Amino acid sequence: MKYKCVIVGAGPAGMNAALYLKRAGIEVIVIEKDAPGGEMLKTSDIENYLGFNKIDGGELALKMSQQIKSLGVDIVKDEVIKVSKQDKFEIETKKDVYLADYVIVATGRTPRKLHLLGEDELLNRGISYCAVCDGGFYRGEDVAIVGGGDSALTEALYLSDLCNKVYVLVRKDLRANEILKARIKEKDNIIVLKNVQVEKLGYEDKLSHIILSNGERLSIKGLFVAIGGEVRLDFLKDLNLECINGYIKTDDRMESSIKGLYAVGDVRFKDFYQIITAASDGAIAALSIREDV
């Protein structure tokens, strides 16, 4: 099967790329291994996507997929297992092989977990993997954030403007840049606890406290996990793509180090990982391809 462009992944990044390509009259197909929506499907309340005061993630995902399907875009349920390039790109899935001039990789990332008992069931009820997304639900409360890198400290600063106390829990020491460390020091309501790990989550219906490896008990309403994300790029290994910290490196047009292969959304190296930034990446890649065709 031949297409001008194959999009891998139907999260907001892939779906918005499809919307722009289809409207530009470019033949496109989206391949999605699960249900369209990506990480949005794991979110109950989204309060920072323009146009909606508050919307359930599943509902937003459905609206997006209905919109692109109504334009005639096919979202095929299949998993891409290999992409290679000769004259054209060859996209091998579990069921088929596709040929395309352009590929947009929109496969996202999975937040790294603590692997503690109760972690999965407490998602949206005390456990969060995104302070910018969920911080507002913990306004005025005591919370903790796990992680000592740049993104953990950026999230801690964000939370410190909303929450009462913010504990930063680090396994050894802070690894973030000096500017961030200095800004953390200036905040009266951020308390850094070094050489600790979370041993246990205390909860009934919602998170109420955590037990640390030093035996300390912290009463908190929210635990933010900021220990990085897992980006799976095994299906691209034949291409020798340039990456930064495991994420695909792109230019401002979203093109990777391989001509014709674009990366959008959470799979690419960037500063801000949000639905709206993912959708924006998708639009930029599609418009760049349109210019190139």
Ligand X SMILES: Cc1cc2nc3c(=O)[nH]c(=O)nc-3n(C[C@H](O)[C@H](O)[C@H](O)COP(=O)(O)OP(=O)(O)OC[C@H]3O[C@@H](n4cnc5c(N)ncnc54)[C@H](O)[C@@H]3O)c2cc1C
| Positions marked active-site | 130, 133-134
Length of the chain: 293
42 makes contact with ligand X (CB under 6 A): yes
DSSP 102-134: EEEE----EE-----TTTTTTBTTTEES-HHHH
- 247 lies in the site for ligand X, by CB under 6 A: no
- The token duo for 85 is 């390039």
Residue 72 Cβ, how far from ligand X at the closest point, in Å? 20
DSSP 249: P
Angle, helix 150-160 to helix 178-186, in steps of 10 degrees = 20
For the segment 121-180, give every residue that binds ligand X (CB under 6 A): 129-130, 133
Q: Does 11 bind ligand X (CB under 6 A)?
A: yes
**8 Å CB contact between 255 and 99:** no
User: How far is it, in rounded angstroms, from Cα 7 to Cα 75?
Assistant: 9
From 12, 135, 148, 222, residue interacting with ligand X (rule: CB under 6 A): 12
Closest CA to 36 of 1, 63, 71, 4: 63
Rounded Cα gap, residues 206 and 212, in angstroms: 18
DSSP letter for 19, please.
Answer: H
Binding test (CB under 6 A) with ligand X, winner from 6, 19, 40, 196: 40
Measured from the CB of residue 119, what is the shortest distance to ligand X in angstroms?
12
Of residues 14 and 196, the one with the C-beta less far from ligand X:
14
Among positions 63-82, residues that touch ligand X (CB under 6 A) are: 79-80
Part in contact with ligand X (CB under 6 A); list of ranges 28-36, 135-143, 164-172, 196-204: 28-36
Residues near ligand X (CB under 6 A) = 8-14, 31-34, 38-40, 42-43, 46, 48, 79-80, 106-108, 111, 129-130, 133, 235, 265-267, 273-276, 278
